[in-house]
Amino acid sequence: MRITGTILTRIVLMCSTLSVVLLNTHYLGTEGQGTASLITLGIMLVLALSQFIGGGAMVYLVPRMAPGKTLLPAAIWAGVSAVIWIIIFQFIPVVPQEYIVHACAIGLIQSLYMILQQITLAGERIRLFNGIMAVQAVIVAVCLGAFFYLMEWRHIHAFITALYASSLFALFGYATANRTSVRAALSAWDITAWKELFRLGKFAQGGNVLHLLNQRLNVVFLEHLWHTGRSAVGVMSIALYFAEAIWTVSKSLSVIQYARIANMADDSDQRRLTGHYMKVSLGAVAAGSLALWLVPESWLLVLFTDRAEELKPALLWLIPGILANGASIIYAHYFSGRGLHRENMIASGLGLLLSAGAAIILIPSLGIRGAAISTSLAFVTQCAWFAVRYRSKAGVKTASPGH
């Protein structure tokens, strides 16, 4: 039931995201979708930095520490992270200048609810985790549809407002569900919690940041290195949406896998679970990739307007990366669940080095196709590292929070 519920939740998320992409593309154009994707990237970067203290490491530590001890350090660091990115974005052109404050404010709200989300996941309250995620996703699409259709408010601020509404709902929902931990956090100041969160989180989130850059850095290169700029970013963001949709089953499985492995002690049981989920993940990703290969380009142009003419070639070049990442998602959560976050950071780091170099060379001449090729290169590199380390039984004798 947990797996079924999680997959259904991911399907709701996938449908909601498709609705948002379609609404943005049809009412704001591919350029508007490009702006939305850059704002979303800014939010993701705020989240990524905040999770050095309040991220997935909490799933490992919450069952091993007193209630509330991890919450206060994570919340304080989330605020600091938002301020840091407001400053950085003034000098590094990732988010359009006029939307920097909004991106960082939404990033802070999402950082806070994700801290509470990790506590929910650590308690293996999967149904609650899924329920709030699903409703939040629906709120974004419904609000955006109402703004565009009913109010005829056809501006990027409609997208931003929908994000505020859904993020605040999730924060309230998770805070209510974890009110015991929230109350305990007010009197649970402990410097040890800071040290443990950072000791484990620096590797856990280091890998997540690098993985995020593997997926999204190429849209920034497109913005500045290709002649159609923001419109190309919009088309590439649509291609990445299809990739995310294909990973629905893989990511659903990984949520259960991570929570279960974090609460398992025997490596043979962890590997048995990982092997089973790997087969299901690869089967689902292969089926999705085949569907992507076969879908006629004319259908995509009808769905996303004729300004997305480079979408089909981008999707075809992404397929090797989509397949590789279907395996990497399962490998990564095996290592994360065992506290071996360094493996994930190294894998993503190697992928980013090759991908960034390829992007700088390929995007000025190939545009969106070059971005897709370099993204696939990152994922294939990651998967190769994971496969080698998994087969060598990395960390079997030394699986500890510090590794």
pLDDT at site 402: 40
pLDDT at site 397: 47
Which one is predicted more confidently, 373 or 297? Answer: 373
Mean pLDDT of the residues in the chain: 85
CB 347 within 8 A of CB 366: no
Flag whether 20 is in a domain.
yes
pLDDT confidence of 304, banded at 50, 70, 90? confident
Q: Which of these ranges, 43-52, 93-102, 170-179, 386-395, has the smallest mean pLDDT? A: 386-395
Structural domains counted in the chain: 1
User: 30-42: per-residue pLDDT in tens?
Assistant: 899 999 999 999 9
Flag whether 385 is in a domain.
yes
Flag whether 330 is in a domain.
yes
How many Å separate Cα 49 from the centre of its chain?
A: 13
Q: What is the dihedral of CA 340, 341, 345, 347, to 10 degrees?
A: 40
pLDDT confidence of 75, banded at 50, 70, 90? confident
The three-class DSSP label of residue 250 is helix
pLDDT at site 76: 86
Cα 50 from Cα 199, distance rounded (Å): 14
Q: What is the dihedral of CA 117, 209, 322, 137, to 10 degrees?
A: 30
pLDDT at site 189: 58
* Count of alpha carbons within 13 angstroms of residue 259, beta-carbon side: 20
Q: Which of these ranges, 347-356, 362-371, 388-397, has the smallest mean pLDDT? A: 388-397
215 pLDDT exceeds 90?
no
**pTM exceeds 0.85, yes or no:** no
Q: Which domain holds residue 380?
A: 2-391
pLDDT at site 128: 85
Flag whether 402 is in a domain.
no
pLDDT at site 307: 65
265 pLDDT exceeds 50?
yes
CB 350 within 8 A of CB 381: yes
Q: How many residues does this entry show for the chain?
A: 403
Q: How many CB atoms lie within 10 A of CB 287?
A: 12
Flag whether 37 is in a domain.
yes
pLDDT at site 403: 41
Task: Please state, in angstroms and as integers, the Cα–Cα distance from residue 174 to each residue in 118, 177, 329, 400, following that order.
Answer: 10, 5, 25, 29
Q: What's the burial of 160, exposed, middle or buried (CB within 10 Å: 0-12/13-18/19+)?
A: middle
343 pLDDT exceeds 60?
yes
pLDDT confidence of 245, banded at 50, 70, 90? confident
Average pLDDT of the residues in 271-294: 93
93 pLDDT exceeds 80?
yes
Average pLDDT of the residues in 240-265: 86
pLDDT confidence of 401, banded at 50, 70, 90? very low
Q: Which of these ranges, 44-53, 57-66, 356-365, has the smallest mean pLDDT? A: 57-66
pLDDT at site 351: 93
Helix, strand, coil shares of the chain as percentages rounded to 5? Answer: 85, 0, 15
Flag whether 396 is in a domain.
no
pLDDT at site 399: 43
Average pLDDT of the residues in 162-184: 86
193 pLDDT exceeds 80?
no
Flag whether 399 is in a domain.
no
Assigned token pair, 322: 């989509």
Q: How many CB atoms lie within 10 A of CB 297?
A: 14
